[in-house]
Amino acid sequence: MIEDASAQAVSRAIAQYIAEHAVPPRPPRHPRRGHRVDLAPGNDEQGPVDQQSVDQLEEEVESRPSLPEVELPPPPPPPRKAPP
């Protein structure tokens, strides 16, 4: 009987110590850039496309002035081989 009571007391003391000194779990690390992140089920679809917004963006892109063409200089000559 005494052994059971002392074992229970030790067990309670250990449980209390763990509860008081437990370290909370670390939050998940952020994924590195470029790594795929799995989305929750159902969140991988973007939903319906707003055609009016698409048309507006296309008009903006088409109305932008085009960049002037630039003439590139000729490539440098190949390196000379050292004489033997």
Quick: pLDDT tens for 25-52. 777 666 665 555 555 555 445 566 778 8
Q: How far apart are CA 59 and CA 53, in angstroms?
A: 10
Sign of CA dihedral 15, 20, 22, 28: positive
* Range with the largest mean pLDDT of 19-33, 44-58, 67-81: 67-81
pTM equals 0.28
Predicted confidence at residue 51, as pLDDT, reads 83
Predicted confidence at residue 7, as pLDDT, reads 85
Residue 12 DSSP label = H
